[in-house]
Amino acid sequence: MTTQLERRYKAKNKNNIGKVIQKQSKKIVPPLIAIALFLLIWQILCSSPDSNLPSPIKTFQDTWDPLIIDPFFDNGGTDKGLALQILASLGRVAIGFSLAAIVGIAVGIVVGSNNFIYNAVDPIFQVLRTVPPLAWLPISLAALRDANPSAIFVIFITSIWPIIINTTVGVQQIPQDYRNVAKVLRLRGAKYFFKILFPASVPYIFTGLRIGIGLSWLAIVAAEMLVGGVGIGFFIWDAWNSSSLSEIILALVYVGIVGLLLDRLVAFIASKVVPE
Amino acid sequence: MSVFVEVDHVGRTFPMPDGDRYIALKNIELKIKKGEFVTLIGHSGCGKSTLLNIIAGLDKATQGGVLLEGRQVTQPGPERMVVFQNYSLLPWLTVRENIALAVDEVMSDRPKGERRGVVEHHIDMVKLRHAADKRPGELSGGMKQRVAIARALSIRPKLLLLDEPFGALDALTRSGLQDQLMQICEENKTTCVMVTHDVDEALLLSDRVVMLTNGPESYIGQVLNIPFARPRHRLEVVKHPNYYSLRGEAVNFLNQQKRGKQRKVKQTAIARHGLEKVNLEIGFIPLTDCAPLVVAKEKGLFKKYGLDEVTLSREPSWKAIVEGVASRRLDAAQMTAGMPLTMTIGIDGKPPLPTVTALVLSRNGNAITLSKHLYNEGVRTLADFKAAITSSPDKIHTLGMVHPSSMHNLLLRYWLASGGIDPDLDVSLTVIPPPQMVANLKAGNIDGYCVGEPWNSRAVYEDLGFVIATDLDLWDGHVEKVLGVREDWANQNPQTHLALVKALMEACEYCDDHRNREEILELLCQPHYVGSAPEYTRPGFIDPYQRGTDAKPELLLRYNQFHIEKTNCPYRVEGLWILTQLARWGITPFPKNWIEVLDRVRRVDVFGEAARDLGMMDIEPDRGSIRLFDGTVFNPDDPISYLNSLKIKRDLRIQEITIDLEAEARGERLEARG
């Protein structure tokens, strides 16, 4: 509301643009200063020639060509640009996460709408959700006998728990008012599902999805390190083996930014879908 | 009209986490006619929403059940649509979609076009065309509630249930919506049950206001019938002469409930001076003959007998007195002569509640007033009045009286019957609290009334009516007001009861001395007692009585009789006369065991003990016959033949009155609760 007012105010008083920039700069300048300070300290700490880690400037110099300037080069095998590596990882996440979302929401709705099932399976979920993602990898490798499906399975199994649990809560927390409306109108079956249950639990479902996407991005990097192939996780592992620390640092920055973007993407979709 | 919805002895008990049970509702019985608008009113937590939910089927009664058109309600359904307090619109649907959801589901057998039509019609009905495509989040509270009402009405429910629908709205929006709801309900003849805590809203909208007592174990404390003609308009309703008396009753009920709640917490009996309880709450009605109570309080007579903390509670109606004593809000009260008997036997569907009287507070002091219009038509005597009634068969003459058990009712009926007028068939009698009489006469709602002073003299003083007869003309020395207490109260507090009788007896003696009357008049005219102007309180009490006719004012020394001539003894023969009259008019059955009933109710023994203690005469008047103005002799040894000899009467019911079992069980239960 206030921002809207501000915007209107801004449009009317173009002379005040300077002021607005000043205001906005309060949000931009401090992080810039923090980053600069961080880089500076890092530079100071790692500037001696016998330092174990590269300084920021050295990192930049090492990775400028070809990693930064050409993210799409493809020399065959696993020697590919960073963008291609990340896209490969994102592909796995997309498959695993989509499966987790579909299965998780379905299971969550079933569990949430039936108290008996909830009491039965909730303890199991609580145990399973605490299992670290990589602990699933040996089992999935044994079962699927292939690297790529195993990595996708790890994504799936990691992100499904928050989706199930939040959906369950969402269904259980449907306001009594809406339930009463449904009861009085005798809404049943598909109509109840699409008109009441699903819309009412959407906010909770999206909370689950947002946690899930974060977890799956965490898991993919670890999983790829182990299973190999094209992907940002294996790229990091590969760089470690060839002791090019600068490449690792660059990859970490990229992983962080992509994770942030994924989170924001889900949040953005939620803001469009969830009723106010 | 037949019963449409029947709430049949519904009780609701909730299990508590500590394994206890909370009884929210107990034995609720309510019959609702088709097209009726019934309001449930009560304090927060009294279970009114629970009751509504049970009718809706959203909650299940622990005992009893709800019938809609004879079929039991087992689950919620669209024929009993609910308008919830917080609107309960689905926020992800637009106004149109919210209404359409209900219409499509409930009228799924109709063609699509027709359903669209219904939706659009109801959007227009609540004037939301401009907002039809908005979501609830973009609407104000009032608009949301309009959508909820439109949604509810669109599916043509047989019964519309509204749970505090306007509770969260500002006053302006609320009154607009009330008008709209009223109009819509009248147009569609919808049967409605609404929960509210707003008395004015209830009076404006409903045909009946059902008032629930405070929980736990809420029950229907009182039902008000709202007589305003429909269609109603806010301003006309407020101007209706009965509006403020009805509002007063409702507000008084709620206040009593609130006080009851506080009392449960703090008030316990304070025992002192060898008395079981010295903090008494005594109810009275603003009338000249409440003088003994006022004198006992103001002249320190209660204190003299050890009753240190007596509070006099000015009650709005006799009904409130009955409720107050029954609910133990009042320890004792000024009562009409027949009230202890009717309470003991049980009238109006109330369970019997043994009530006793050990003291008559006053005799005489009533008059029958007719309106000045009748005077101008030449009515001077009862025969003239009969002629006036016969000559205008289209007009129903309505007369006011204060309570079915009061001497006003019995004497008025007796007087009418003696002139050949059947009080039920030839005229209409209606109950109006004494202070409301003059206003109703002025408004033309009634053509006359029988009431105690100063309300006759006031009509004469304001030139609205004339006194056609005083009770001295009918039965000189009849019992008028008595002191009434619950029997179990009297048994638990025998010394207190005795002290109370003694204090009041001495006050009665004081009141009867005409030298004290000027002083008493001043006390009575104080606003927290009778609050009447001295000009019209004096006639009869001090000054010569003016009838508002050509007759010269006449000094009536025995008009307000408080002590002399064995006034204070509650002797049994006059009690028997009252029993015969109650039976004559079908108010109560005549008790076959009338000796037992009278012995229990009229405690001559307590009176005698008090009189002896005070050194006054402890003599019950002679067990003789009573002869009234018309020459009929009432023989106390043969009441049945007396009743049979009466010409104008209702069908006689003679039956054994068993008052003990249920009454005592009720008493115990109340104690356990208190």
Best probe of the A interface among B59, B83, B101, B145, by most A CBs < 10 A, is B101
Q: What is the mean pLDDT of chain B?
A: 85
Q: Do A184 and B80 touch (CB under 8 A)?
A: yes
Q: Kindly list the distances between the CA atom of residue B297 and the CA atoms of A81, B124, B233, B330, B527, in Å, as whole numbers in the listed order.
A: 103, 63, 45, 16, 15
The model's pTM = 0.58
Q: Which of A183, A191, A275 sits opposite B58 (nearest CB)?
A: A183
Please tell me which of A100-114, A219-233, B460-474 the model is most confident about, judged by mean pLDDT: A100-114
pLDDT band, residue A104 (cuts 50/70/90): very high
Interface size A-B, in CB pairs within 8 Å, comes to: 53
pLDDT, residue B339, reads 92
Say if residue B663's pLDDT is above 50. no
Q: Which of A185, A196, A199 sits opposite B102 (nearest CB)?
A: A185
Q: Could you tell me what percent of chain B has a pLDDT over 70?
A: 96
Say if residue B652's pLDDT is above 70. yes
Chain A interface residues (partner B, CB cutoff 8 A): 177-178, 180-181, 183-187, 191, 195-196, 199, 202, 275-276
Phi, psi at residue A195, to the nearest 5°?
-90, -30
Say if residue B532's pLDDT is above 60. yes
d(CA B68, CA B32): 10
Q: Do A196 and B88 touch (CB under 8 A)?
A: no
d(CA B90, CA B469): 68
pLDDT, residue B264, reads 56
Instruction: Fold for B255-363+479-544+554-571+607-619+659-668, please state it.
Output: D-Maltodextrin-Binding Protein; domain 2 (3.40.190)
Say if residue B185's pLDDT is above 50. yes
Residue in B307, B340, B304 with CA at minimum distance from that of residue B509 = B304
The residue of chain A with its CA nearest to that of B88 is: A177
Best probe of the B interface among A184, A186, A205, by most B CBs < 10 A, is A184
Q: Kindly list the distances between the CA atom of residue B187 and the CA atoms of B1, B121, B195, in Å, as whole numbers in the listed order.
A: 19, 14, 21
Q: Do B78 and A199 touch (CB under 8 A)?
A: no
- pLDDT tens per residue across span A175-193: 888 888 898 888 888 888 8
Cβ of B161 under 8 Å from any chain A Cβ? Answer: no
pLDDT band, residue B125 (cuts 50/70/90): confident
Say if residue B284's pLDDT is above 80. yes
Say if residue A4's pLDDT is above 60. no
Q: Do B58 and A185 touch (CB under 8 A)?
A: no
First CA to last CA distance, chain A:
14
User: Contact at 8 Å (CB) between B424 and B411?
Assistant: no
pLDDT, residue B218, reads 84
- pLDDT tens per residue across span B61-116: 888 889 988 888 888 988 899 988 888 888 888 999 999 999 988 888 889 889 99
3-state SS, residue B389: helix
- For the ranges A112-116, A260-264, B69-73, B213-217, the lowest mean pLDDT is seen at B213-217
Cβ of B84 under 8 Å from any chain A Cβ? Answer: yes
pLDDT, residue A210, reads 92
Q: Which two tokens stand for residue B196?
A: 């509210």
pLDDT, residue B234, reads 84
Write out the H or E segment, with its range, that includes residue B251.
helix B243-266
pLDDT, residue B484, reads 93
Q: Which two tokens stand for residue A96?
A: 């695993």
User: Contact at 8 Å (CB) between A121 and A107?
Assistant: no
Q: Which two tokens stand for residue B54?
A: 């049970």
pLDDT band, residue B673 (cuts 50/70/90): very low
- A187 vs B contacts (CB less than 8 Å): 101, 105
pLDDT, residue A107, reads 94
Chain B closest CA to A182's CA: distance in Å?
9
For A124: left if phi > 0, alpha if psi spans -120 to 50, otherwise beta; the answer is alpha
Q: What's the CATH code, domain B366-474?
A: 3.40.190.10
d(CA B308, CA B318): 26
Residue in B399, B363, B411 with CA at minimum distance from that of residue B565 = B363
**Within this chain, domains B255-363+479-544+554-571+607-619+659-668 and B366-474 share the same CATH topology:** yes
- For the ranges A19-23, A230-234, B346-350, the lowest mean pLDDT is seen at A19-23
d(CA B220, CA B349): 12
- pLDDT tens per residue across span B386-443: 998 888 888 888 899 989 899 999 999 999 998 889 998 888 888 888 888 888 888 7
Q: Which of A177, A178, A191 sits opposite B105 (nearest CB)?
A: A191
Q: Do B84 and A191 touch (CB under 8 A)?
A: no
Q: Report the DSSP pairing between strands B191-196 and B37-41.
A: parallel
User: Contact at 8 Å (CB) between B607 and B358?
Assistant: yes
pLDDT, residue B85, reads 81
Please compute the mean of the pLDDT values over residues B552-575 and round it to a whole number. Answer: 84
pLDDT, residue B672, reads 44
Residue in B382, B381, B383, B413 with CA at minimum distance from that of residue B400 = B413
Count the neighbouring beta carbons within 10 Å of the beta carbon of residue B224. Answer: 21
Q: Kindly list the distances between the CA atom of residue B568 and the CA atoms of A248, B62, B262, B608, in Å, as whole numbers in the listed order.
A: 110, 50, 35, 10
pLDDT band, residue A117 (cuts 50/70/90): very high
Q: Where do runs of H (alpha helix) occur along B399-454?
A: 407-418, 437-443
User: Contact at 8 Å (CB) between B448 and B400?
Assistant: yes
Q: Which of B58, B75, B105 sits opposite A180 (nearest CB)?
A: B58
Q: Could you tell me what percent of chain B has a pLDDT over 90?
A: 15
The residue of chain A with its CA nearest to that of B97 is: A195
Chain B closest CA to A263's CA: distance in Å?
24
Say if residue B607's pLDDT is above 70. yes
Q: Which of B86, B105, B137 sits opposite A187 (nearest CB)?
A: B105
d(CA A72, CA B285): 98
Residues 6+ apart with CB under 8 A from B220: B28, B29, B30, B210, B211, B212, B213
d(CA B179, CA A99): 55
Please compute the mean of the pLDDT values over residues B464-482 and round it to a whole number. Answer: 89
pLDDT, residue A165, reads 93
Cβ of B107 under 8 Å from any chain A Cβ? Answer: no
Say if residue B262's pLDDT is above 70. no
The CATH class for the domain spanning B1-78+158-253 reads: alpha beta
In chain B, domain spans: 1-78+158-253, 80-156, 255-363+479-544+554-571+607-619+659-668, 366-474
DSSP string, A2-28: HHHHHHHHHHH-GGGHHHHHHHHHHHH
Say if residue B526's pLDDT is above 70. yes
Q: Which two tokens stand for residue A44?
A: 């100071």
Say if residue B260's pLDDT is above 60. yes
The residue of chain A with its CA nearest to that of B98 is: A195
Q: Measured in whole angstroms, how far is the alpha carbon of residue A108 from the centre of its chain?
A: 20
pLDDT, residue B54, reads 92
Q: Do B90 and A196 touch (CB under 8 A)?
A: yes
- pLDDT tens per residue across span B215-233: 778 888 878 888 888 788 8
Say if residue B265's pLDDT is above 60. no
pLDDT band, residue B267 (cuts 50/70/90): low
Q: What is the mean pLDDT of chain A?
A: 85
Say if residue A266's pLDDT is above 60. yes
- For the ranges A101-115, A203-217, B524-538, the lowest mean pLDDT is seen at B524-538
